[in-house]
A and B are shown apart, each in its own frame.
Chain A
Amino acid sequence: MTPATASPQGAGEELPERTRWVAQGVSADDVNAELDRLHRAAGGPGRILALARKLNLIVLPCPDRCEQQVEQALDGLGTHTPSRTLVLREHGRDRIDASLAMDCRAPAGAGRVGLCHDRIVLSMDAGRLEHAASLLAPLLVSDLPTVLWLPEPRSAVPDPRLLERGQYVLVDSGAGDYEDLRRLAALAAVIRVHDLAWGRLDYWRAAVAAAFEPGERRSLLSTITEVELRYERQGLQAALLLAGWIAARVGWQAGGLERSNGTVRARVHRADGGEAGFGFAAAECGGGCGGVDRVVFRSRSDQVVVPRSGATSSLRNLFAEALQPQPTFARGYAPAVTAAAAMLDGEA
């Protein structure tokens, strides 16, 4: 083990301050011992500092291009969700390297308590990554929820045992391709998935539910033949997720996806044996719409229009919300993503 630096930075009442330690060829015991030392060194005469940790956050490896995005998200973490953060990275050397940082916000003023949380970056070779759960187990804070963050939805979880350690996985299917929904459906079958795209669809689920609250509208549901979804041009994922949710809630069996002349359609089989379809049409909604601009339910005799109504999620910190351990964030997600994946699987 070779400690490279051990330098407290920004002493005094600077806000925020960070203590960092970097070493190569370490074990979990080394990391724990150094964390203990950093925690003890943080306090002192005239300084009251408390460790504030709401969860264990394990950041799974992602390609170089998304590391900056990960850094930005983690830098803001202390203000809303201070965590024991464990970042996994892959490198080509046959050893484990560690970088420890303790971020403290030490407010000026007598008697005020500062809050600290720590971040541990662990770099290792692919072979060790496949057994990452064994390295992380002694580094997790007991009795706190453990969250796995998959910064790129298409990335694989390197060690399946990590899924046993975590209470849920955080992803953003909106950041990937609609094909990723297949992988997320498989993931949702074994662990709760907090998909930021699902959070962006909150308004649309509420609006669809409200549209079918009047009794006469509910009666119409069994006669729906077509659901038209106008989606934001950048990606079909959100519209597919919403279509999957609608299909799952009304008991439609997903058929296949068809593409022709720039249009996308998905066939579904109704419970009465009839056929219905989703038509997807690209549109511009100018951001903040959750990826969907309008939903229209059509039967032979009538239609129910669910328009976009005001801003939806543009001002919410969905990353922070999704980190909260409430299961309500993912309510309805698993059947929705499964139905969406089934549409993709049946693609002609």
Chain B
Amino acid sequence: MTAVTQSEILPENPFAADVEEALPPPTTLVIFGATGDLAARKLLPAVYNLRLGGLLPDGFHVIGIGRSESGDEAFRAHARDAISSYSRTGIDDDTWQSLEPRLEFLRGNLDDPKLYESLAERIAKIDADGQRAQRVFYLAVSPSFFARVAQSLSGVGLSDESEAPSRLMIEKPFGRDLESALELNTEISEAFVESQVFRIDHYLGKETVQNLQVMRFANGILEPVWNRRYVEHVQITMAEDIGIGRRAGYYDSAGAIRDVIQNHLMQLLALTAMEAPVRFDANTLRDEKVKLLRSVRRYTAAEVPDYVVRGQYGAGWVGGEQVPAYVDEESVPADSRTDTYVAMRVEVDNWRWAGTPFYLRCGKRLPRRVTEIAVQFRPVPHLPFAGADIGEVEPNQLVLSVQPDEGASLRLVAKVPGQSMNVRPVQMEFKYGASFLGDSPEAYERLLHDALMGDATLFTRSDEVAEEWRIIQPILERWESDPHGPEIYEAGSQGPSEADSLLAIRGRVWRQI
């Protein structure tokens, strides 16, 4: 006898075909840390803008959880202030009024089992008033609570999916080294299965990062030259002009390597270098990223100094303002050896990329904020314009700019108009703002909507996280035992001079920040 599945019995939804942006099913979104900074700056504005865009279902509720002496009214006032301050669209009274009654607050201590019992009761009450809603738990709290909260939710049956989906959203950092990351994965997996866990790397929610896939795999002219035969090297940069602000507590124990390289830049590397996925779905895409991360060469501790450079910003000038050295920032120990700049050469040992290095760099207090992927193509094998000084014949370069100006540019060489054969580089530019309408949604809007829709494509899977840590772990171990600290670079400069040496073969130079 052939088993008949539910989808074979039920008719298809006849209305779904003509819908551009589908609405999620009824949802109860629970935000742990609802009165914290992340909720104020990103999550509550994201919820509001999804509401404004008509992208939330009628059955939608938010339960904010925090330790403050708040009730529903105080939480709603807090949410309104946060949305007014941080929403990219400001705040519109009609939309706010439709959202406000859907916000509730539950006060409690994350260590207290009664909190989770109260939460389960509150959710059951919402369900009793309408359709059984899916649950999405967003952990905007310290990573030290991730496992505890996940297990407590499971303890009161809130991870159960027998009637409707239940999802757990967590933010980086996912561990602080390989061992702690594996441990966290194990602890969470005891409460939620992998398909329920949505790990946010907000870079993956950025339009340009998503566009990287479209640029590579929907344009026939790029993929044939996207390999070691035509690409000389690739530079992936995430530079910030700001310092650490008030994040010293976290940043001084993490450094740039944990804060940026292990997650954002490893993700950009994987998306730039991976093979074409058969389908753009969650597991197929993430399988390809994992394959690529597995082919990244692991350095031995002894090799690390040859491939990785770290720096720490000293005092200097940025944006016309004098700024202090890292060690003079509030709450940073005077003898801190934390890296605020990292540059590394990555070798991808696979058929496509063997011999073509990827240079990753990130840093704080650099001259300006820029995130980009620059693909430097090999020079032409022969110039037919011999015998004349024709000017700069620079190799082609494709630059995908992630921020602040989302877009792409291709450097070509063109003849300067006139009688003589002079050439110079010219740029073909594509700017998101110029070619598409309106503001791009904030990364958090996209990611929250995807999680509500159950689409994990833009979220990081546990094995990706583990592979990223496997690449980073030897570097951490070497630095811990290395008596030399990071090289000090002047704030507002291009970074430590050692980083230039890392690149200085075959005339390679960093793109200017």
Contact = CB atoms under 8 A, between A and B. Distances in A.
Are A and B genuine complex partners? Answer: yes
Interface stretch (A40-48, A93-101, A120-128, A304-312): A304-312
Nearest to A311: B95
Given A311-B95, A315-B52, A332 B10 contact: no
Interface in B76-102: 89, 92, 94-95, 98-99
A311 B94 contact: yes
A1 interface: no
A202 B54 contact: yes
B57 A309 contact: yes
Interface stretch (A8-16, A149-157, A211-219, A262-270): A211-219
Contacts of B437: 80-81, 317, 320-321, 324
B12 A218 contact: yes
Nearest to B48: A310
A310 B57 CA distance: 10
B22 A206 contact: yes
B18 A249 contact: yes
A310 B93 CA distance: 10
B16 A218 contact: no
B60 to A, nearest CB: 8
B502 interface: no
Interface residues of B, number: 35
Which 5 residue pairs of A and B lie closest in terms of their CB atoms, listed nearest first? A332-B18, A203-B54, A210-B23, A209-B15, A310-B98
A207 B23 CA distance: 7
A202 B98 CA distance: 18
Interface string B53-66: 01111100000000
Interface string A67-87: 000000000000011000000
Given A205-B19, A210-B23, A317-B437, A309 B54 contact: yes
A52 B430 CA distance: 12
B321 interface: no
Interface string A43-66: 000000000101000000000000
A245 B18 contact: yes
Contact of A210 (B14, B20, B25, B434): B25
Interface string B1-25: 0000010001111111111111111
A249 B15 contact: yes
A251 B15 CA distance: 11
A203 B18 CA distance: 11
B155 to A, nearest CB: 29
Contacts of B21: 202, 206
A233 interface: no
A246 B10 CA distance: 19
With most chain B CB atoms within 10 A of its CB, the pick from A206, A249, A288, A324 is: A206
A67 to B, nearest CB: 25
A314 B21 CA distance: 17
B429 to A, nearest CB: 9
A307 B58 contact: yes
Contacts of B24: 210
A310 B54 contact: yes
A213 B165 CA distance: 14
B219 interface: no
B52 A311 contact: yes
A208 interface: yes
Given A209-B23, A321-B437, A310 B56 contact: yes
A189 interface: no
B224 interface: no
Interface in A241-293: 245-246, 249-251, 286, 288
B483 interface: no
Contacts of A250: 14
A131 interface: no
B208 to A, nearest CB: 19
A221 interface: yes
A331 interface: yes
Nearest to B99: A310
Nearest to B14: A249
12 contacts: A80-B437, A205-B18, A206-B22, A209-B23, A212-B15, A213-B13, A215-B10, A288-B94, A309-B98, A310-B56, A310-B98, A311-B54
A331 B51 contact: no
Given A202-B54, A209-B15, A310 B95 contact: yes
A328 interface: yes
B481 interface: no
A274 B131 CA distance: 30
A309 B411 CA distance: 48
Given A207-B58, A210-B25, A250-B14, 19 more contacts: A52-B434, A80-B437, A206-B55, A209-B23, A213-B25, A218-B11, A221-B11, A222-B11, A246-B15, A249-B18, A306-B58, A307-B58, A309-B58, A310-B52, A310-B54, A311-B92, A315-B52, A315-B89, A317-B438
